[in-house]
Chain A
Amino acid sequence: MSASNLPDSAVLRGLTQRRLGRRDALRISGLSALGAALAACGVQGKAKPGAGASVAPDAVAKYWTGKAKVGHVDFANWPLYMDPKKPELKTFTKETGITVNYQEVIQEMGPWFAKVQPQLAAGQSIGFDLMVITNSIQFAQFRDSGFLAPLDHSKLTNFKENAAANYTKEAYDPGNVYSVPWASGMTGIAYDENKTKRPITKLADLWDPAFKGKIGMFSDTQELANFGLLKLGLNPDKSTSDDWDKAAKELKAQKPLVRKYYDQSYIDALGNGEVWITQAWSGDVFQKNLSDGTNFKFVIPEEGGTLWTDNMTIPITAKAPVDAITLIDFFYRKDIAASLANFINYVCPVPSAQAVMVADANKLTGKDKTAALEVANSKLVFPDDDVYSKLHYYVSFANVEDQQTFQKTFEPITLG
């Protein structure tokens, strides 16, 4: 069967013959003249100096003039952020005629930014008109690179009416120039009590050698850093690079006990018994319990937890921004917000939705009623000051150098 032999002998001949003679080597070293060309290369940055907090007053008008309804929205979101039956989207399509293509393509902020950055930098569409991004380092990167469209608040009437006051003054986007919250969430500890045999209350439990090989942590550096800092009693909001080094050392000591560093897939690992105790996001556990009938528990540790906000934003190269902003405002309707919070169990940005949820719960009976009331009154969905006092934001940075130092300190923990 020579046909299958022939390529191999040709390749073999290629492999086993001596290829580079002295003349070839000289010729190739002539390429070093291209060294000058190397210096001419550089990757253009997209950020304009002083970008970020302030935005030119006519930027909104400039972006939105001429944009018209298209009839379709491509929506990129995280997993476990909507009922798989998508009732809210169905209602939206029925009322407005705009179809929605909902994709759960975002699992972690770092990879999401890295994936779409080159395309956005080249001015290309990323295939989505609406994306939900966390208020992490990457949010600042998106904003400073000019990748986010400034929102036209004249189209966000529901938001103005129904959003909780504190969401309009967030440090990462004061005045909601580029984003409005989708949901807020907390990072705490999820565990399977059947396996751990005791209730978990402290961050130190994640360092407990009794759970060796059954501990899960996030691979996101900001999530890791916060837990490392909080365990040592340090405040992430005021941490310095010395604090980061100490936290990194603590996390490195934990490494032999950790089964794996996860993105959102930690919840599946918990589900199939791969881990017994893991860093977790508040709403996931309840959804898992609901969908799979499990009995996992979620706690905010004594030493503290993390509070973050996921925000709806429109990428600057979106093909259907008008439809996207209509969808954004749709989610701030009281009944829609209530329906969403009821399923996802994350912090609802619409306080008046609680009344709606309670009213809906009272219409049910028996076990359904208790379950629904539990969610409606849950401190994880409508937290009070008590809960907020234990929560901290991600570490923020004064400049790019600090941010790079931070990344260099914590990245090696997850990269083996």
Chain B
Amino acid sequence: MNRVKRQLAPYFLVLPGGLWLLLFFAIPMIAMLSLSLQQGDVVYGYRFTFHWQNYTDAITGYHDQLIRSLIYAGIGTMLLIALAFPVAYWIAFYGGRRKPTYLFLLLLPFFVSFVLRTISWRQILTDDGPVLHPLKQIGVLPDSYHLLGTPMAVIGGLVYNFLPFMVLPIYVALERIDPRVVEASRDLYASPALSFRKVILPLALPGVFAGVLMSFVPMASDYVNSEVLGSQSTTMIGQVIQHKYLQTSDYPTAAALSFILMAVLLVGIFAYARALGTEDVMKVAAR
């Protein structure tokens, strides 16, 4: 009796939470899939008719925004890797006892709401704000120059908001590197640059992979940064989806767009994992 109870214990523990996730994570996906294949009108009702045209309409209408989102996210991710790696490297190898403090400082922005952070940036980057005004005064920039509304501002916002998501995974991977391995490479006459390229970098790759996953996906589906810092020429697919759900009540197209976005992101992730070689990743992760 006790053994049966003990065997059933995990199921009882998991049941409430698991049910919640099933009901409110898995099933909504099905509802969204269903909605994407319906046609009709918000007033007169929608009927499920396997209306694949929603998908074709969505792609023909909004492929520009989808591609633009992927490009912004791609550029953003590359910038993130370039920006985050040195920070993670320094904290991991030179942080010493103050490592937790540095990590904490990096996470500081998350104590302020996402929306508030981005709006603060908008305030800083206005046409005659504290950043642009002095530059215009000394003549570095023309008077009509504006940063807000450009892709640069949007990508800047994306990079800002997702930096910790890239620093932390890389940091964790770097921190796990046994310093004796690096020492050994030096003992074998490798220059610092060589030991970095051949020893540290490959060991850090799983961290980079995790960081890319945790930043590319949310960046591609973001809409706040473009809404606050951009203009209609920077419209991202997230804005279109949000617009169709919350402003025009066009649920089927919006649901179709969401699925298209998910599919594209999943394909991207799998391709990326393939390219990087999931075997190595697994081995390092198992350590």
Query: Which A residues lie at the B interface, using CB under 8 A?
Result: 1, 4-5, 8-9, 11-13, 15-18, 31, 34, 37-47, 108, 110-111, 113-115, 117, 141, 144-145, 213, 255, 258-261, 273-274, 400, 403-404, 407-408, 411-412, 414-416
Is A415 touching B243 in the complex (CB atoms < 8 A)?
yes
Contact B47 A260 (CB under 8 A): no
What's the Cα separation between A273 and B45 when bound, in Å? 44
> Which one, B29-37, B110-118, B131-139, B182-190, is touching chain A?
B29-37
Q: Complex formed: what's the CA distance from A314 to B246 in Å?
A: 22
* A415/B65 in contact, CB under 8 A: yes
Determine whether the beta carbon of B64 is less than 8 Å from that of A416: yes
Q: In the A-B complex, list the 6 residue pairs whose CB atoms are closest, starting with the nearest.
A: A45-B45, A416-B235, A1-B100, A16-B285, A45-B44, A41-B34
Check B48 for interface membership: any CB of A closer than 8 A: yes
Closest-by-CB residue of B relative to A140 is B43
Q: B38 near A43 (CB under 8 angstroms)?
A: yes
User: Do residues B48 and A114 form an inter-chain contact, with CB atoms below 8 A?
Assistant: no
B65 touches A45 (CB 8 A): no
The secondary structure that dominates the B interface is helix
Closest to A263 in B: B247
Interface flag for B104 (CB, 8 Å): yes
B250 lies within 8 A of chain A by Cβ = yes
CB neighbours of A45 from chain B (8 A) = 40-46
A-side contacts of B35, CB under 8 Å:
41, 43
Given the complex of chains A and B, what is the CA–CA distance between A257 and B133 in angstroms? 24
**A31 — which chain B residues lie within 8 A by C-beta?**
30
Tell me the number of A-to-B contacts counted with CB atoms below 8 Å: 144
Query: A416 near B127 (CB under 8 angstroms)?
Result: no
Report the separation of the CA atoms of residues A16 and B284 in the bound assembly, to the nearest whole angstrom.
9
CA distance A415 to B235 in the complex (A): 6
State whether A43 and B239 are in contact (beta carbons under 8 Å apart), knowing that A412-B61, A416-B65 are contacts in the complex: no
CA distance A414 to B234 in the complex (A): 11
- A259 contacts B45, C-beta separation under 8 Å: no
B residues in contact (CB < 8 Å) with A: 30-31, 33-35, 37-38, 40-48, 57, 61-62, 64-65, 68, 99-100, 103-104, 127, 144, 146, 149, 168-169, 172-173, 175, 206-207, 209-210, 213-214, 231-236, 239-240, 243, 245-251, 278, 281-282, 284-285
Q: A43-B38, A117-B249, A274-B127 are in contact. Are A18 and B149 (CB under 8 A)?
A: no
Nearest CB of A to B286, in Å:
8
Cross-chain contact A213 with B61 (CB below 8 angstroms): no
Contact A117 B172 (CB under 8 A): no
Neighbouring B residues of A4 by C-beta, 8 Å: 100, 103-104
| A141-B168 Cα distance, complex, nearest whole Å | 49
- Measured CB to CB, the nearest residue on chain B to A45 is B45
Tell me whether B47 and A16 are in contact (CB under 8 A): no
B210 touches A415 (CB 8 A): no
Contact B232–A12 (Cβ < 8 Å)? no
Q: A44-B45, A47-B43, A260-B231 in contact; A12/B240 too (CB < 8 A)?
A: no
What are some 25 contacts across the A-B interface (CB < 8 A)?
Answer: A1-B99, A1-B103, A4-B100, A4-B103, A8-B172, A38-B37, A39-B34, A41-B31, A41-B48, A43-B35, A45-B40, A113-B249, A114-B246, A114-B248, A141-B42, A213-B146, A255-B232, A259-B149, A260-B232, A403-B41, A408-B61, A415-B232, A416-B68, A416-B234, A416-B239
Asked if A16 meets B282 with Cβ closer than 8 Å, knowing A1-B103, A41-B34, A415-B65, the reply is yes
Q: Give complex CA distance A255, B64 in Å.
A: 15
Q: B249 contacts which chain A residues (CB < 8 A)? A: 110, 113-114, 117
Is A141 in contact with B232, judged by CB distance below 8 angstroms? no
Question: What residue in chain A is nearest B65 (Cβ atoms)?
Answer: A416
Q: Do residues A411 and B281 form an inter-chain contact, with CB atoms below 8 A?
A: no
A219 to B: closest C-beta gap in Å: 9
Q: How far, in angstroms, from A313 to B146 measured CA to CA in the complex?
A: 42
Interchain CA distance A274-B249 in the complex, whole Å: 30
Nearest to A260 among chain B residues (CB) is B231
Q: Are A34 and B30 in contact (CB under 8 A)?
A: yes
Residues of B within 8 A of A44 (CB): 45
Q: Which residues of B contact A113 (CB under 8 A)?
A: 249
B172–A9 touching, CB < 8 Å: yes
Which residue of chain B lies nearest to A111 when distances are taken between CB atoms in the complex? B247
Report the bound CA distance from A34 to B27 in whole Å: 10
What are the residues of chain A within 8 A of B64 when measuring CB–CB? 416
Expressed in whole angstroms, the Cα–Cα distance for A100 and B169 within the complex equals 53
The contact of A260 among B42, B149, B236, by CB within 8 Å, is B149
Check if B243 sits within 8 Å of A42, measured CB to CB.
Answer: no
- Chain A min CB distance to B108 (Å): 13
Minimal Cβ-Cβ distance residue in B for A48: B44
B38 touches A42 (CB 8 A): yes
In the complex, chain A residues whose CB is within 8 Å of the CB of B206: 12, 16
The distance in angstroms between the C-alpha atoms of A1 and B100, with both chains bound, is: 6
* Distance of A13 from chain B, by nearest CB (Å): 5
